[in-house]
């Protein structure tokens, strides 16, 4: 599997580009200097020009949706799945066999345990043997693995925000636990069993699903929590944190729907224990110093979601209302860093391109 | 057909109360002192408590949706149809025969001409013989007829705003045309063939329809015209104006979708001819002087839709940028004066109740 | 101080009615059958008709703003202060001396400790001797005291939501702590030092303040936390909880700004200890059984803010993701139950009127 | 005045970059490959880092606001004025004398007649002698003039939309009027005295002005017309149309405020006369064939404002409800094609850069 064609271009196919994630992928890829968009599939819209569905792409994307069978995806270098869960896994074996890199924006390859997948998604997994190989592609946590990956599972939008907000503490824990000679090596640096992630998302996070609860008349001028009975991003958050921390983790995760289109705001409550003496601001700044897409804001900041709108950046601010308590605020654009942008970032890494290529848009404010 | 029960109460049934118009009817009728809500039907939701669908009604509406067959609507004094078109006409004959007054918020009985109905609504009319009897129930134009009506056709939301904005001029025309001894008796007071109605509506005007174009992700932060190829409210506007004016009328009607829930704003452009010398402000104030729900604002006003939110009031402002041109601004809440509120107003009139009963809510601002 | 005039009417004055709280008071009081609005003051708007500022009140409120000096507030039975903090305390002594009941929607009399007031509001308190007498008028916690109160301090919008969400647990604690014979009498039923109140408010909570951060261009399509450095509602929440619980309480309170006009949603995280075995649903239902304005929803509910829009109702839902953790969701309309409506409720109680009088509006949905 | 520095870069200064137009200029110029941002002034914010005011620019714009006196704008190649009117004219003579090109986004140099300027803007013009030289820089109408211009007056946001919607007809008129041998040479192709421009704008069009009417609590969930007594964009529209058409023009211009941030939608009503036989779709397509930023959509289209959000594109659709009537729909992003983007486009033209350089962003949808 080569980095890219000899001329540096990456031939890209998209499966299921009629939703918001698909539209966003098209926006980003159409402006990416190394990408050649060769095919986009949709059962329902086959035969329709992409720019009829999304007039914002007029003059920029000349493709027409085609039936999956006619797409010749096996000739691509990379295929993005911007589909509901269950689609990528049905085509994965064949595409991998053709030497195609798969970048799945759905959930098929996020959970390492097929049983766990089946419990949350209510369908059997079509290729459990591939789960071990799949890379959970949060670049800030798995850059090296992405470079070698054939099967790239993009994190969910909520998990991206929660994980970015907790990774520096997870690493601190891992270092301390693994270290020796420091008296508190085994002490939990935070109360890993009592994490709270109060998350808020704009409505595009639900995709372009035609359900009554996402009508403008239902969403506008309204605010509510949802999913307290269990949200599919929950196991993914705990799985990844646990792996990073190296000990059991319990996250209370409550998502809320905000009457806006784009943006996720995570408010994370962390009880500090052995870490109580730490300078968290410094810890986070150091951890993210070289990251192109994570911005640790000055102390006292309140990042707003619009400050990242349309861009691949996540911004983090740290608060410390008491010695034993940290509040971590994280914002991202759920369609970019939370989905399509991060997928392009992973593609760049996997194909040896500059990591920021095609992802340098300045956020749209106001 | 009596005005109401001997104890003054009106027994009311609602057909199809799961949309926004239905929810609004429930809000108004549940607070109406003379109304007893006896039955509400829905095929899809039969067996569900109304307040499970609309938690805003918890503790206020104890009904459960029932199958139409189980509703015993024939025992009601009045039945409101808050359904898509085509439903009321299928039950009209039978209900009328049982002595029930029908108040249809859909379009079945708005157009006097069955062929015209069929042209616009693409289905045959089920009881064309009832069209002549039906009253187009804009109270400001047809109060006397409503008092005697069995079959009450509520105007569409857009037509209500356009007609209220033009009725005083239509009456001026009718008076002059019918009069004698005035030299310009037959002259058109305005260019009736060149009326322009540029209308803007919040998204609740589309109902609670589960269509992709009404998703929050499609409607928010967006503005567009629609229906330029022909909108079903168009023939209704021209029919009623023509009747009021007594001569052919052509209205160019362009609706637009506003990213908000409630409210219609009509901007009407009228070329003045024989009326050029008129004091329009006085004409409108006089015409609406005794109307409980039409407010002619002071000269120079710009009515905003929120100033009528949740109330049955329409506000009108007149502008005269040139001697030969009038601009009439009209605002209403499309779900109240444009639908459910006006239907309750018509019910009050038909049953001999005080016209404002149950309709005195002050608009919700902000 | 009599309950009301011999004819049952209450003569009401409003100080500072040009903000959103003032507009909402006007909406509610103008529809209140026992209230006679006699005077409304505003320095900046003196001489302007109220309905010029708020066209929604045309035909319903005939008052004109007057200079405070010309208002003769001493002739009123009740005076509402819908002002910034600092105004009510400057007029309190004089009005009380005239036998007027004061209902302050600002913060002047919420904190019992003048030093605490001065620390948070940065001005000296003008009448600290009145603080002991003032009643913190959350009806669900202080109904009896309100009946006898001359000086009524209305709770802040956020504190109302947080307190309603925690009062049943506070009472459980108080009962157990005070009780005898039960082995765990002194045990904390919840971790009172680890409460988290993640709150979200629409922008009307900031009032009609002309500040850049509340411009539509700043607020729309945006979400952010604020006030992590310290919010003025914080001491009020802890003071009242502490009093109800009877032991030290620490609440981590994080407010967020939602791009909508009305509504507060509180997400409360409570670690259960001795209460872990309790049936919380039953506890809350029992506690609020006779309350006219608090609705405990069925298990599994996600109350949305629009389900209370424009009404004085608060809705509560309980979740229990783990044996030792409760999540309490509370919604209210910040301008009604969180401000003007609760103030009218307190007035009703204080003047011996039916508690729901003038407050029976059904929420406006959608 | 050279096209640009020998290395191709353009040294740019911005006066008054704290509003929305300034923020948008910064977004575009910071991504422009040929631009070197050297200075940005603000009296109120001098000393503050630009990215503290606009966190969206963190890591992308390293400038700090400086006092005008300290900006050394005379060393720039181009200076953009993103100020209220009155500022550019006070500095124009001096800057021009230093060889700097001025690109004014305010109104100082839009009107050719100083008396007209003074009538609308209520201040005397500081350099009326420069008005004749100033170029009204709508590229689609004045590309050649812009190439030679020192003093570039950017069109207002509304005028841009109205003019783009009417230019093809204006040109048709000019050709026919100037032509010979065609019988109807002098006939008006449309009723130039009866044009109607019903325009709708998002709230960012009002800038970042701290006025009560632009608060989120006032703008959200509301729609209203404004400025019927006279809007400053009105004379500009008529001046430019008149010049293009070569005969008197009367436009009835009614702006409306839409509860959204970005976007203008113009609905133009044109009575066709000698042009009644024309194929307008073809006329417009031909006129705009080579324009990089004007997209004539297929017949029957309803362009939505979001389809151009964040981009410099305007989209136009033509409707013909009757032989003698055309309705032209135009959408643009008021901050881009209506302000900052068009200014960069003009800069590109003036400095001999590729016209689309730095302006190729694909619209952000949703």
CATH code of the domain covering residue B91: 3.40.50.720
Do A46 and A171 fall into the same domain?
no
Taking CA–CA distances from B332, the nearest residue in chain C reads C56
Do B79 and B113 fall into the same domain?
yes
- Per cent of chain D over pLDDT 70 is 97
Q: Is residue C362 part of a domain?
A: no
Contact yes or no for B65/B42 (Cβ under 8 A): yes
What integer pLDDT is reported at residue A179 of this predicted model?
A: 55
pLDDT tens-digit series, residues A38-67: 999 999 999 999 999 999 999 999 999 999
Do D36 and D166 fall into the same domain?
no
pLDDT tens-digit series, residues C48-68: 999 999 999 999 999 999 999
What integer pLDDT is reported at residue B183 of this predicted model?
A: 42
Q: Is residue D357 part of a domain?
A: no
Report the C-alpha dihedral over residues A176, A177, A179, A182, rounded to 10 degrees: 60
What b-and-e string marks burial along A263-300, b requiring 16 or more CB atoms within 10 Å of the CB? Answer: bbbbbbbbbbebbeebebbebbbebbeebbbbbbbeee
Q: Is residue B4 part of a domain?
A: no
Chain A nearest C-alpha distance from B134 (Å): 32
D356 touches chain B (CB under 8 A): no
What integer pLDDT is reported at residue C186 of this predicted model?
A: 78
Name chain D contacts of B228, Cβ cutoff 8 Å. Answer: 300, 302, 319, 321, 327, 329
Q: Is residue C80 part of a domain?
A: yes
B182 pLDDT band, cuts 50/70/90, is very low
pLDDT tens-digit series, residues D16-25: 989 999 999 9
What integer pLDDT is reported at residue D6 of this predicted model?
A: 81
Distance of CA B295 to the CA centre of its chain: 16
What integer pLDDT is reported at residue C182 of this predicted model?
A: 45
Q: Indicate the SS3 state at residue A248.
A: coil
Active site residues of C: 157
Contact yes or no for B264/B334 (Cβ under 8 A): yes
C209 touches chain B (CB under 8 A): no
Within 10 A of A180 (CB to CB), how many other CB atoms are there?
5
As separate numbers, helices (DSSP H) first and strands (DSSP E) second, chain A gives 10, 13
Structural domains of chain B, count: 2
C33 touches chain B (CB under 8 A): no
Contacts of residue C174, Cβ cutoff 8 Å, sequence gap at least 6: C244, C245, C246
- The arrangement of strands across the sheet holding A251-257 comes to A224-225, A251-257, A195-201, A264-271, A325-332, A314-322, A294-296
pLDDT tens-digit series, residues B117-147: 999 999 999 999 999 999 999 999 999 999 9
Q: Is residue C343 part of a domain?
A: no
Taking CA–CA distances from B260, the nearest residue in chain D reads D221
Taking CA–CA distances from A197, the nearest residue in chain C reads C198
Name chain C contacts of A262, Cβ cutoff 8 Å. Answer: 221
Mean of all residue pLDDT scores within chain A = 95
pLDDT tens-digit series, residues A249-268: 999 999 999 999 999 999 99
Q: What is the mean pLDDT of residues D250-271?
A: 98
Q: Indicate the SS3 state at residue C326.
A: strand
Do C218 and C129 fall into the same domain?
no
pLDDT tens-digit series, residues A157-190: 999 999 999 999 999 999 998 754 444 457 999 9
Report the candidate in C83, C131, C79 with the shortest Cα–Cα distance to residue C236.
Answer: C131
CATH code of the domain covering residue A255: 3.30.360.10
Is B180's pLDDT higher than 70?
no
Question: Which subunits have 3 or more CB–CB pairs within 8 Å of chain A?
Answer: B, C, D
Do C40 and C98 fall into the same domain?
yes
Q: What is the mean pLDDT of residues A227-232?
A: 93
Helices (H), D112-250: 114-121, 139-147, 157-178, 216-219, 233-245
Q: What is the mean pLDDT of residues A123-149?
A: 97
Rounded CA separation C14/A249 (Å): 54
Instruction: Tell me if C256 and A220 make a contact (CB, 8 A cut-off).
Output: no
Q: Is residue C348 part of a domain?
A: no
What integer pLDDT is reported at residue B231 of this predicted model?
A: 92
Do D118 and D175 fall into the same domain?
no
B20 touches chain A (CB under 8 A): yes
Q: In Å, what is the CA distance from A243 to each residue of A170, B190, D187, D275? A: 9, 77, 79, 72
What integer pLDDT is reported at residue B181 of this predicted model?
A: 41
Is B3's pLDDT higher than 90?
no
Contact yes or no for D58/D51 (Cβ under 8 A): yes
Helix axes D139-147, D157-178, angle to 10 degrees: 90
Rounded CA separation A233/A248 (Å): 17
pLDDT tens-digit series, residues B270-324: 999 999 999 999 999 999 999 999 999 999 999 999 999 999 999 999 999 999 9
- Partner residue facing C258 (CB), from A223, A271, A303: A223
Chain D nearest C-alpha distance from C216 (Å): 4
Tell me if residue D157 is catalytic.
yes
Contacts of residue A331, Cβ cutoff 8 Å, sequence gap at least 6: A161, A263, A264, A265, A266, A303, A304, A305, A307, A308, A314, A315, C224
Helix axes C157-178, C233-245, angle to 10 degrees: 20
Instruction: Tell me if B260 and A208 make a contact (CB, 8 A cut-off).
Output: no
Chain D nearest C-alpha distance from C61 (Å): 20
CA angle A93, A94, A95 (to 5 degrees): 95
What integer pLDDT is reported at residue B7 of this predicted model?
A: 85
Name chain B contacts of A212, Cβ cutoff 8 Å. Answer: 208, 210
Rounded CA separation C163/D241 (Å): 63
Name chain D contacts of B221, Cβ cutoff 8 Å. Answer: 202, 260-263, 306, 309, 366
- Partner residue facing B362 (CB), from C30, C295, C301: C30
pLDDT tens-digit series, residues D297-312: 999 999 999 999 999 9
Name chain C contacts of D309, Cβ cutoff 8 Å. Answer: none
pLDDT tens-digit series, residues A341-350: 999 999 999 9
Domain of residue A309 covers 158-334
D63 touches chain A (CB under 8 A): no
List phi, psi (to 5°) of B264. -125, 140
Taking CA–CA distances from C225, the nearest residue in chain A reads A302
Name chain A contacts of B220, Cβ cutoff 8 Å. Answer: 203, 216, 219-220, 259-261
Helix axes C280-288, C157-178, angle to 10 degrees: 110
Dihedral sign (CA C119, C120, C121, C122): positive
Q: Is residue C323 part of a domain?
A: yes
> Could you tell me the two tokens for A187?
């002490």
Do B63 and B176 fall into the same domain?
no
Q: What is the mean pLDDT of residues D206-220?
A: 94
Rounded CA separation D240/D246 (Å): 10
Do B178 and B323 fall into the same domain?
yes
What b-and-e string marks burial along D78-88, b requiring 16 or more CB atoms within 10 Å of the CB? Answer: bbbbbbebbbb
A283 touches chain C (CB under 8 A): no
C262 touches chain B (CB under 8 A): yes
Do C173 and C311 fall into the same domain?
yes
- Residue with tokens 């174009």, as numbered in its chain: B213
Rounded CA separation D317/D311 (Å): 18
Which region, left, alpha or beta, applies to residue D164 given φ > 0 means left and ψ of -120 to 50 means alpha?
A: alpha
Dihedral sign (CA B234, B239, B241, B247): positive
Do B205 and B107 fall into the same domain?
no
D217 touches chain C (CB under 8 A): yes
Q: Which residues of chain C have pLDDT under 50?
A: 180-184
Active site residues of B: 157
Name chain C contacts of D219, Cβ cutoff 8 Å. Answer: 216, 220
Question: Which subunits have 3 or more CB–CB pairs within 8 Å of chain B?
Answer: A, C, D
* DSSP conformation class of D147: H
A221 touches chain B (CB under 8 A): yes
Within 10 A of B7 (CB to CB), how many other CB atoms are there?
7
Rounded CA separation D157/D285 (Å): 23
Q: What is the mean pLDDT of residues A98-112?
A: 98
Do D185 and D321 fall into the same domain?
yes
C260 touches chain D (CB under 8 A): yes
Q: What is the mean pLDDT of residues A299-303?
A: 97
Interface test with B, best of C55, C201, C344 (most B CBs within 10 A): C55
Interface test with D, best of B157, B201, B202, B222 (most D CBs within 10 A): B222
A23 touches chain D (CB under 8 A): yes
Report the candidate in C119, C115, C42, C55 with the shortest Cα–Cα distance to residue C84.
Answer: C42
Do B127 and B171 fall into the same domain?
no
D283 touches chain A (CB under 8 A): no
Q: Is residue D5 part of a domain?
A: no
Q: Indicate the SS3 state at residue B321.
A: strand
């Amino acid at each position: 599997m080569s980095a890219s064609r000899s001329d540096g271009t990456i031939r890209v196919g998209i499966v299921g580009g009629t939703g918001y994630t698909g539209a966003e992928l098209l926006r980003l890829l159409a402006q990416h200097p190394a990408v050649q968009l060769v095919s986009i599939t949709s059962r329902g819209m086959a035969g329709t020009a992409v720019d009829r569905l999304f007039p914002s792409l007029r003059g920029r994307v000349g493709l027409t949706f085609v039936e999956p069978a006619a797409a010749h995806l096996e000739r691509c270098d990379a295929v993005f799945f911007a589909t509901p869960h269950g689609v990528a896994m049905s085509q994965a074996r064949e595409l991998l066999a053709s030497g195609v890199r798969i970048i799945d924006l759905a959930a098929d390859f996020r959970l390492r345990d097929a049983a766990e997948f089946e419990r949350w998604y209510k369908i059997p997994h079509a290729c459990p043997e591939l789960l071990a190989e799949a890379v959970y592609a949060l670049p800030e946590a798995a850059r090296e693995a992405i470079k070698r990956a054939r099967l790239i599972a993009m994190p969910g939008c909520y998990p991206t925000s929660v994980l970015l907000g907790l990774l520096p503490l997870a690493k601190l824990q891992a270092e301390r636990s693994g270290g020796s000679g420091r008296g508190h090596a085994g002490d939990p640096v935070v109360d890993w069993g009592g994490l709270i992630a109060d998350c808020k998302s704009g409505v595009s996070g639900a995709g372009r699903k035609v359900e009554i609860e996402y009508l403008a008349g239902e969403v506008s001028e309204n605010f509510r929590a949802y999913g307290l009975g269990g949200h599919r991003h929950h196991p993914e958050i705990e799985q990844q944190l646990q792996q990073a921390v190296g000990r059991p983790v319990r996250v209370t995760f409550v998502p809320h729907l905000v009457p806006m289109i784009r943006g996720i705001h995570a408010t994370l409550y962390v009880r500090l224990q052995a870490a109580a003496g730490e300078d968290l601001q410094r810890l986070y700044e150091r951890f993210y110093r070289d990251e192109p897409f994570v911005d640790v804001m000055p102390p006292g900041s309140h990042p707003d979601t619009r400050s990242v709108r349309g861009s691949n950046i996540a911004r983090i601010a740290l608060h410390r209302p008491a010695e034993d308590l940290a509040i971590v605020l994280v914002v991202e654009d759920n369609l970019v860093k939370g989905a399509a942008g991060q997928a392009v970032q992973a593609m760049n890494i996997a194909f040896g391109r500059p990591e920021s290529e095609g992802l340098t848009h300045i956020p749209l404010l106001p």
